[in-house]
Amino acid sequence: MQRTGATARIRGALIRDLRMENGFLTQTQLATAVGCGRSTVSMWEASCTRPRPEYLLRLSEILRVDPSWLTGDSEPVSLRGLRLSAGLRQAEVAAALHLRGKGTYSDVERGRQPVPARWIPVLARLFGTPEPDLRKLIAPLAAQSH
């Protein structure tokens, strides 16, 4: 989990309100649905920490809102956002993908090229995001790059 700051914030009151609206009366109920601990949900609702990427995606799906709505980010969750949340530079991702330079990864991250299927397991591991969640994120990006 990331601590809050200029680049890492979470709208805790919104999470609490959406939790209640979606029938999760307790933090424990939401935590079980997301797959984390009750204290983690408590920290989100207090705006003390930001969910890891995989939790943010599950949380937004459960609460039926775009992840960017929960974080207050102006843009939706993206490969760039996942990379930054994981604390990685483009060059580090490119190296993990066995690319010669960061140019190809940069083009994919910016939507200039589609994400090669063989990259998905590596990116999921690097970003700490389950492959199915990453595939859901990538699907709209693939449509945009054509």
Residues in the chain: 146
Degrees to nearest 5, angle at CA 58 with 52 and 59: 80
> How many domains does the structure of the chain reveal?
2
**Within this chain, do residues 13 and 57 fall inside the same structural domain, yes or no?**
yes
pTM for the predicted model, two decimal places: 0.53
pLDDT tens by residue, the chain, 146 residues = 433 333 346 778 889 988 998 899 999 999 999 999 999 999 999 988 888 888 888 898 899 887 877 877 655 567 887 887 777 889 999 999 999 888 889 899 888 889 999 999 999 999 888 888 888 877 765 555 44
E strand intervals along the chain = 2-3, 49-50
Q: What integer pLDDT is reported at residue 4 of this predicted model?
A: 37
47 and 7 in a common domain: yes
- Give me the pLDDT at residue 142, please: 57
- The pLDDT value recorded for residue 98 is 94
- In this predicted structure, what is the pLDDT of residue 144? 53
My answer on whether 91 and 129 are in the same domain is: yes
In CATH, what number is assigned to the domain containing residue 9?
1.10.260.40
Structural domain harbouring 114: 79-144
Residues 95 and 60 occupy one common structural domain: no
